Amino acid sequence: MTAPNAPAPEVAQLRRASSGRVLGGVARGIANHLGIPVIWVRLGFVGLTLISGAGVLGYAILWALVPLDDATVPDADSKTSTGGPSSERAILLVLGASGVLLGLLLLATLAGLDLRGFVPLALAGAGAALIWLRADEDHRERLRSGVGRVAPQRAGILQVVLGVGLVLVGLIAFGVGGVGFTQAGTLLVAVAVVVVGIALVVSPFALRLWRERDDERRARIRSEERAEIAAQVHDSVLQSLALIQKNASDAGAVSRIARAQERDLRRWLYPASGLSSSSVRKALEDMAAEVEDTYGVRVDVVCVGDAKTSERTTPLLHAAREALSNAARHSGANIVSVYAEMDDRSLTVHVRDRGRGFDLATVPPDRMGVRESILGRLERHGGTARLSSDPGEGTRIELVMETR
């Protein structure tokens, strides 16, 4: 088995083409997607149109639903401008198509077929096509220019006005000539006609608005995440690096700053799940951080389980802090290990260093630290504390407290 190096072939999504298109880029998009010459797709649409206009309907649906291929927009057709139709061309194209259609209808009528009802619909369809084309063109131009609104051009406005006019004329003609408002019960038809008209005119803009909102939301989330990361890096890492450069000659300070920064970054990258402010684990980690910052030694904390702080755990945590700072101050070791195991019954904390150690018997009786703050404190509160230390071997302190 050799390395499966090649990335999985990317499943290309069907997208409308931005360049080499006549209308909406649907045919070109399909051709690109299937890898066949575009002429076959176009002939296919024309052929389908002969079947009760299915080709036109299919084209319109794909146009509305298939997203524009924005990746190829900026370089593909802004410079060469071989691509899409300008407003003038679109108007001419649609008017031309309407003319051809009318001619065909005339021929058909001459041949004895009654297609009068179809003419108004064709007019309305042509108007709708103009509006859709315009909306689509706006979208392209926005993509092309990067962001923001594109100032509407006169030809563009003309195109929309013409489109609305054609839709209106078509619908009115349909209402008056085709069906007739005089017949009873045709009010419903009239209402339906108006609704369809409004839908035809408004839907491209509504659809565009909806898509834009989606895109904007995604972009906003991305930029917010970026800003948060930038803020975190700026507040922490960059500050620390500046401090380190300033203190470059002081090895102790450098390692202390680096360690504090490491701890901070770690906490941000790997947040312990559900660590509340009243958790023993959190209290121990904060304590360790404080000792690290104060004495410049490394404190490794390993916790098993977690528990809530209470009046039972507080004396033990105070004793642990004393043990920890004793180790940091007096042992000479550069690493102190803290191990805590807790459940809802008891809490055990071990503090150990590999420093110089001491003999408890030689500690003068007036020294409060070990005897009072650690051993005495635990016993007064019903816990147990054990200390073992050998000169040269380091010190181990075990603190145990029943917590219920």
Partner 1 sequence: MSSGRPTVVLVDDHRMFRTGVRAEIGELVDVLGEAEDVDTAVAAIVELQPDVVLLDVHLPGGNGPEVIRRVGDQAPNTYYLALSVSDAAEDVIATIRAGARGYVTKSISGQELADAVVRVAGGDAVFSPRLAGFVLDAFAGSVEIAEVDEELDRLSPRERDVMRLIARGYTYREAASELFLSIKTIETHVSNVLRKLQLSNRNELARWASDRRIV
| Residues near partner 1 (CB under 8 A) | 1, 3, 5, 266, 269-270, 273, 298, 300, 302-305, 335, 337, 339, 341, 343, 350, 352
**Nearest-angstrom CA–CA distance, 256 and 185:** 88
| Crossing angle between the packed helical segments 313-330 and 280-295, to the nearest 10 degrees | 20
Minimum distance from CB of 349 to partner 1 (Å)? 10
Is residue 38 within 8 A of residue 31, CB to CB? The reply is yes
CB of 393 to partner 1, least distance (A): 9
Shortest distance (Å) from residue 355 CB to partner 1: 13
Nearest residue (CB) to partner 1, 91 versus 324: 324
Q: CA-to-CA distance for 387 and 349, rounded, in angstroms?
A: 12
- Strand, coil or helix: 400: strand
Specify the residue, 350 or 377, whose C-beta has the smaller distance to partner 1.
Answer: 350
Taking the least distance from each CB to partner 1, the nearer of 215 and 293 is 293
For the bound state, the minimum distance from the C-beta of residue 302 to partner 1, rounded and expressed in Å, comes to 4
Smallest distance from the beta carbon of 274 to partner 1, in angstroms? 9
Give the residue with the Cβ less far from partner 1, 113 or 275: 275
Residue closer to partner 1, measured from CB, 123 or 399: 399
The closest alpha carbon to 130, from 84, 76, 177, 92, belongs to 92
Q: For the CB of residue 400, give the shortest distance to partner 1 in the complex, in Å.
A: 13
344-375 burial string, b = 16+ CB within 10 Å, else e? eebbbbbbbbbbbbbeeeeeeeeeeebeebbb
The 8 Å CB, 24+ separation contacts for 242-250 are none
> Is the CB of 231 or the CB of 302 nearer to partner 1?
302
Burial class (CB in 10 A: 0-12, 13-18, 19+), 223: exposed
User: Please, which residue, 30 or 351, has the CB nearer to partner 1?
Assistant: 351
Residue closer to partner 1 (CB basis): 144 or 259: 259
For the beta sheet containing 346-353, the strands, ordered from the edge strand earlier in sequence to the opposite edge, are 298-304, 335-342, 346-353, 394-402, 384-390
For residues 344 and 402, what is the distance between their CA atoms, to the nearest angstrom?
Answer: 9
Tell me if 10 sits within 8 A of 62, measured CB to CB. Answer: no
Minimum CB distance to partner 1, residue 336 (Å): 9
DSSP code string of 250-308? -HHHHHHHHHHHHHHHHHHHSPPTT--TTBHHHHHHHHHHHHHHHH--EEEEEEES--B
> How near is the Cβ of 391 to partner 1 at its closest, in Å?
17
